[in-house]
Structure 1
C-alpha cells in the first residue's frame, strides 16, 4: 500500500489533485483503499459508491505524513535546527580552508623572496617580505661564509636581504642557501629546479675540476666553473667550503654538476648594475689599470665593467705609449667624457680621461707665450714634417720644416737634433686646439724687432720723466751750456 511504499522511499503520485487522496468523493464509483485503523495493516471493504472513513487520529497522522512527503517531492524541505547548526559549521570550515589556500598561493617552497631584516636574534632572525607573517632565518646564515657560522654578522637590522622559502605553514622558514642538514637527493633536485644555491666542501681535485661533498651527496664542478677567470691550480681549493648552483641533475642525483662561477657572475651582475647607475658624463670614477695597449689603457671600474683611457687623454703632453704615464695594476681616478650603449655588454663603450682632472697648463700660456715672443726650448721629437720643441713641462710646440731655415730643408735633422736646445719664435697660440706654431728662421727678425721695440719704449720712458729729476742737467741748462 501507499504507506509502505513511502517508508521504502518511493512516492506514490495519485491521479488528480493531491487533496483527492485524503478526501474521497463518497458518490464516486471507483474503489477507495481506506487507511488502516489502529492495529490493522490491510485494506478492508470494497463497495461500489461507498467508502469507509478512517478515524480522525489516523487521518490526521497520515495526512501529515503525506503532506511532508509531497513537500519533499517539490523541494520545499521543512526547517531542521540540527541542519542549520551543521551548515554553519561547514561554512566556517570553508572560510578557514580558504584562508589557508590563499596563504599557500602567496608563496611556496623554493620561491625566492626579497625583504627587510627586522630583528636579529641569537639563534633566529626575522624577515619581513610582505607576506601574512614574518619569515624565520637562522642567524648563523647572516655571518661570514666559510667560518662555520661563527664569523661576524654581515647584516644589520633594516638591511635588505634575499632568501629562499624552505618550509611553509604556521611558520615560514627561510634560508639564504640550503644548509647541510637539508641535503638529500629530493631536496637537491628541488634546488636544481628553483636555482637555490647549495653549500659544499671540496674533497677532491684533478686537472678537470673539483669533487664537491654536499653532505654525503657527491657532485662535480668543472674547472671552467670555479671562477670567472682561468684556474690552473685546483689543489688550492681543497678542503674549502663554497656556495654552488646546481646546473645538471641526472640519474636521480647520482650525477650532479655544480657551478660556482654562475653565482659569482650573478653577484657581479648585481654589482655592475650599481656601477652603471653612477656612470654619466662628468662623473669621477675610481678604477684599476688592467692592461695597456698602444692606443690606450683599460680600466676596471668594478662589476666587470671596463672603460678606456685613450692615449691622448692621459696627460696634456704628447705620449707615444700609455706605459710612459701609467702601469698595469695601478689605481687611478678618471673622469667620464663619453658613454655609448650603456648596459649592452657587447657594444658598451665608456671613454675616460686622466688629463681632465689635471690642471691645464695651457690656461697660463696666453701671457707667457704671446705671438711674437722669442724663447728657448728643447727638441724632443723629429718628424718628416717638422720638429717638436718642449717649451715648458707638458707644453710642446711644433716647428714646421718650412720654418727651419731660410734655405730649403728636406728633413728637420738637417737643422736640429733631438735633445738640442734652440731658440724659437712663437707665431701662433691656439688654446682651443692646444697648439703652438713655432719658427726658428724668424727668431732673428722677431728678436731684432723686439729689441727695437724695447729700445723705443725705454726712450719714450726717459722723455716722459720730469726734467727735475737730474740736478746736473738743470744746472747746465741754466748756464746755457746745453739746450
Structure 2
C-alpha cells in the first residue's frame, strides 16, 4: 500500500506525533523533507492557513495551500474548507514572528506535488486504491486519494444498484476503496467503485428462494418496485400501495434467475428508518483489475467493465 494516504490518516501516528514534540524534531522533518499532518485552526482574511503544531504555530501561506492555487486551476475553497481538519505539509523553515515567538512556515502544495509525482502519476486504469470521502454532490462522490488531492466517483459508478444520491451509499469522512477508471491528459483521475462490490453470483449466493430478507426500496415504476438487497444486487417486486423510494422493506424472495440476472420479490412490509448508516462489504481491496464481469457466465447478456 502506498505511503501517500488521504489527509487525516497520519495525524495520530506515533511518527507524526514524534515530529511535533520539539522544535528540533520539526527541524529534522524539514531537513529530511518529511510529510507531516496537523489540524488547521484558522484561515485568515488573506487565506493563509494557521496550523496547530502543539509546540508552536504553523502557517501555510495561501500560495502553498494547495496544488493549482498559484496558476489559478484550483479555487480558494480548497484552502478554506480545511479549517478544523487535518492538513498535510512539508516544513519549509522555522522562524520567529513579529513578537519573537517561534513559528513554522509550511507547504501543503509541496506535499501534494510529491504525492502526485511519486504515487498518482504511476497509477494506471484498473489499479485499486484507498480513498476517503470528502463531500457528496448529486452527480457523484468526491474523495481524497492522497494528501488531499481530489478525485470523483460518478454516481453511476458507485454501485450496480442505482441510488438517488451518493449519500445513500457514503458518508463524509468514510474510508473506502476505489478503482482507477480513467486518467485524462492533464493527469486527473476518475474512479469507479461498483467493481469492488462483487458480481451478481457473488452477491446472490447469500440469498435463497423462500427467504424473507431486508431490503431498501430504490425506485417505484409502473411495472414494479426495485428493491436493493445488497449494493450490487437488486430485485423487482410486485407493485404495492404506499411504498416509496428510500423506505426500508422486508421482502419475500420468490426466485433467483441467474441466466437473466433477475431476483423476483414480494414486499411484505415497508417502513421509514431514521439515522440509517449505509454499510457494504468489499470483494476486492487491493491489486489490479484488467476486467470485471458482473454477469454470470450462463447469462446471454454480458455486463462487464474493461480497464484500459
From the two aligned structures, give the one with the greater strand fraction. Answer: 2
Q: Aligning the two structures, in what range does the TM-score lie when normalised by the shorter sequence?
A: 0.3 to 0.5
Which structure features the higher share of helix residues? 1
Structure having the higher Rg: 1
| Greater relative contact order (Cα < 8 A, sep 6+) | 2
TM-score, structure 1 as length reference: 0.32
